[in-house]
């Protein structure tokens, strides 16, 4: 299965690493147990997050999921949203907006979930994925202890990483 098309182009190394890490996590979730543990222990943003133990147990017990595809319209939406959010006049980017931008580009509703992380300062795409997993599982309400990364029905994704003077970067 080809997960990238001719049109698929990463703008930077972090985007490529995130895409690959998500698919590694889906292919062999157990591989991410030590990564999540290390990020939880070293990243102040998620060190006190709820439900990390539940996440670690789920990763340890999960079966393989199908890979996600780098979706060109979703990537375009993320990039266009980041251009707006990282404009010189923006002091602090707003969270989200990628799904709304995708809906605007395709001219109608699309299922999707948004994850925005400003000031991402950890080492790698795998670390970013671990942060997202931890933060997803820490949510309250109907989405508690869930992540689109670990959802069988998620088949496509868009990623954009852009520099921002106020927040270092926006992923």
Owner of token pair 């990628």: 98
69 domain residue, yes or no: yes
What is the spatial distance between Cα 105 and Cα 101, in angstroms, rounded to a whole number? Answer: 6
75 domain residue, yes or no: yes
2 domain residue, yes or no: no
79 domain residue, yes or no: yes
CA dihedral 95, 101, 102, 107 (to 10 degrees): 150
Q: Domain range spanning residue 62?
A: 13-170
Which residues fall within 8 angstroms of residue 127, CB to CB, at 6 or more apart? 35, 39, 43
- Contact predicate 130/33, CB 8 Å: no
31 domain residue, yes or no: yes
- The tally of domains found in the chain comes to 1
4 domain residue, yes or no: no
7 domain residue, yes or no: no
Q: What local confidence, expressed as pLDDT, does residue 89 receive?
A: 80
Count H helices, E strands: the chain? 6, 4
**Each residue's pLDDT tens digit in the chain (171 positions)?**
555 555 568 888 888 999 999 999 999 999 999 999 999 999 988 999 999 999 999 999 999 999 999 898 999 999 998 888 887 787 777 788 889 999 999 999 998 888 887 777 767 999 999 999 999 999 998 888 999 999 999 999 999 887 766 655 555
164 domain residue, yes or no: yes
What is the spatial distance between Cα 64 and Cα 150, in angstroms, rounded to a whole number? Answer: 10
């Amino acid at each position: 299965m080809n997960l990238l098309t001719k049109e698929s182009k990463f703008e930077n190394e972090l985007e490529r690493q995130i895409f690959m890490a998500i698919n590694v996590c889906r292919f062999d979730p157990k591989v991410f147990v030590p990564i999540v543990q290390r990020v939880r222990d070293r990243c102040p943003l998620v060190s006190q997050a709820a439900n990390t133990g539940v996440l670690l147990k789920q990763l340890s017990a999960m079966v393989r999921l199908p890979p996600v595809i780098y979706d060109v319209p979703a990537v375009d939406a993320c990039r266009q949203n980041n251009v707006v959010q990282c404009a010189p006049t923006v002091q602090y980017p707003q969270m989200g907006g990628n799904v709304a931008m995708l809906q605007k580009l395709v001219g109608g509703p699309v299922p999707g979930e948004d994850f925005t992380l400003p000031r991402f300062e950890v080492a790698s795409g795998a670390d970013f994925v671990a942060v997202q997993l931890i933060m997803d599982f820490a949510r309250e309400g109907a989405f508690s202890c869930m992540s689109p990364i670990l959802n069988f029905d998620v088949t496509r994704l868009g990623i954009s990483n852009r520099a921002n003077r106020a927040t270092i970067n926006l992923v």
